[in-house]
Structure 1
Amino acid sequence: MKFVDEATIDVIGGKGGNGAASFRREKFVPRGGPDGGDGGRGGSVFAIADSNVNTLVDYRFSRMHRARNGENGRGSDQYGAFGEDIVLRMPVGTTISDAETGELLFDLDHHNQQITLAEGGPGGLGNLHFKSSINRAPRQFTEGKAGEQRRLKLELKVLADVGLLGLPNAGKSTFISKVSNARPRIADYPFTTLHPNLGVVRTSPAHSFVVADLPGLISGASEGAGLGHLFLRHLSRTRLLLHIVDVSTLDPEIDHVEAAIEEIHTITEELRLYSPDLNEKPRWLVLNKLDMVDGSEALRDAIIKRLNWTGPVFAISALTGAGTKELTLKIQSWLDEERRIELEEQEKAAGTYIENDPRFDEGRQNIDED
Structure 2
Amino acid sequence: MKFIDEATIKVFAGDGGNGAATFRREKYEPEGGPNGGDGGRGGSVYAIADRNINTLVDYRYTRSFRAERGENGRGSDCYGKGGEDTVLRVPVGTVITDKATGRTVADLAEHDQKVLLAKGGIGGLGNIHFKSSTNRAPKQCTPGEPGEQFELYMELKVLADVGLLGMPNAGKSTFIRSVSAAKPKVADYPFTTLHPNLGVVRVDTNRSFVIADIPGLIEGAAEGAGLGHQFLRHLARTRLLLHIVDIAPFDEGVDPVQEAHAIVEELRKYDEGLYNKPRWLVLNKLDMLPDDERDARRDAFIKAFGWEGRSFGISAISGEGCQALVYAIMEHLDANKYQEDEVATR
For normalisation by structure 2, the TM-score amounts to: 0.98
User: Structure 2 matches for 1:317-328, cutoff 5 A?
Assistant: 317-328=315-326
Instruction: State the shift of 1:308 in Å.
Output: 2.8
For residue 314 of structure 1, what is the amino acid of its counterpart?
F
Deviation at 1:344, TM superposition (A): 0.6
Percent identity at matched positions?
Answer: 64
What's the counterpart of residue 258 of structure 2? Answer: 262
Counterpart residue type for residue 141 of structure 1: C
Matches of residues 1-150 of structure 1 in structure 2 within 5 Å? 1-150=1-150
User: In structure 1, what is the equivalent of residue 283 of structure 2?
Assistant: 287
CA shift, 1:29, in A, is 2.6
1:186 is the counterpart of 2:183: no
Offset at residue 247 of structure 1 (A): 1.0
CA RMSD after TM alignment = 1.0
Give the AA of the match of 1:307. Answer: F
CA displacement, residues 267-316 of structure 1 (integer Å, 9 cap, x when unaligned)? 01101111111111111000000000121111111112222311110000
The number of aligned residues is 344
> Could you say which residue in structure 2 is the equivalent of 1:276?
272
Unaligned runs of 5+ in 2: none
Q: How far apart are residue 106 of structure 1 and its match?
A: 1.0
> Does structure 1 retain, via aligned residues, the 8 Å contact 2:247–2:256?
yes
Give secondary structure in 2 for the equivalent of 1:237: coil
| 1:315 alignment counterpart | 313
Residues 204-223 of structure 1 deviation map (CA, whole Å, 9 limit, x = unaligned) = 10000000000000011110
Q: Report whether the alignment pairs 1:235 with 2:235.
A: yes
List aligned pairs for 1:328-343, cutoff 5 A: 328-343=326-341
Helix, strand or coil for the counterpart of 1:163? strand
- 1:208-260 deviation per Cα after TM superposition (whole angstroms, max 9, x unaligned): 00000000000111100000000011111111000000011234x55xxx822
Mapped to 2, the partners of 1:315 and 1:47 lie a distance apart of: 44
Counterpart of 2:289, as a letter, is: V
2:197 corresponds in structure 1 to: 197
- In the alignment, what sits opposite 2:342? 344
Q: TM-score, normalised by structure 1?
A: 0.91
User: Equivalent residue for 1:301?
Assistant: 299
Q: Any conservation in 1 of the 2:105–2:117 contact (CA below 8 Å)?
A: no
- d(CA) in 1 for partners of 2:83, 2:193: 45
Q: CA deviation at 1:93?
A: 0.6
* 2:236 partner SS: helix
